[in-house]
Amino acid sequence: MGESEAYSHMSSEGNIHTDDFTAIVTDYGQSIQQLVYTYVKDQALAEDLTQEIFIKVFKKLDSFKQESTLKTWIYRIAINHCKDYVRSWHYRQFIYDDDTVMHAQSKDKSIDDKIVARSEEECLVHSVLGLPAKYREAVYLYYYEELTSKEISTLMNVRENTVKTRLRRARKMLKEKLGKEETT
């Protein structure tokens, strides 16, 4: 069943039945939360921001023009919300509070242990999270969400070749980072 069929009750004005919105949250909630986590690296905060994102999606459904897929539209909202949050004063205070940073690091380990079963995968996840945001975002969308470089370029508002370059540079950074960890 295609995306347009799955949410067939959504009218051209963006009105949607509660059951359809629940289905949207069910279909995209986990992947949006994982995307948010790549920005904030804190599970509880990622859950809160994910809720805020879906509230925003619900309020803005009437502005969805169906020029893109619902998935890419929701991802665009999520990415913009995350970028706004990371630029916010609240986030900067959160990061620079030493006690909070130590607490967040201990949470990261337990979260990664639950998510990643093998140590090699855990190392890769940490390396990806350590990439600069523009590379981390491209890697996450391409490898974890399996979006095409064209879809990613639409989401990130950059050219497709820019996405390919970011992916290539991210792979190079990861090779270097993982190569150093193997030798130590």
Task: Convert the pLDDT of each residue in 86-107 to its tens digit.
Answer: 777 555 554 444 444 445 555 5
Residue 141 has what pLDDT? 86
| Site of tokens 């039945």 | 17
Residue 16 has what pLDDT? 63
Question: What is the pLDDT averaged over residues 147-155?
Answer: 89
Backbone angles phi, psi at 158, to 5 degrees: -135, 170
Backbone dihedral region of 146: left (phi > 0), alpha (psi from -120 to 50 degrees) or beta? left
Question: What is the pLDDT averaged over residues 3-25?
Answer: 63
Residue 124 has what pLDDT? 73
* pLDDT single digits (tens) 60-82: 888 888 888 889 999 999 998 98
Please choose, from the candidates 11, 155, 161, the residue with its C-alpha nearest in 3D space to the C-alpha of residue 73.
155
What is the dihedral angle through the alpha carbons of 123, 152, 61, 24, rounded to the nearest 10 degrees? Answer: -50
Residue 133 has what pLDDT? 85
Which range, 44-58, 113-127, 139-153, is most confident?
A: 44-58
Please choose, from the candidates 32, 28, 10, 31, the residue with its C-alpha nearest in 3D space to the C-alpha of residue 19.
10
Confidence of residue 26 (pLDDT cuts 50, 70, 90): very high
Residue 41 has what pLDDT? 84
Q: Which token pair is 41? A: 């690296």
Residue 115 has what pLDDT? 47
Confidence of residue 11 (pLDDT cuts 50, 70, 90): very low
Structural contact between residues 50 and 28, judged by C-beta atoms closer than 8 angstroms? no
Set out the domains of the chain in order of their start, with CATH numbers: 1-115 (1.10.1740.10), 117-184 (1.10.10.10)
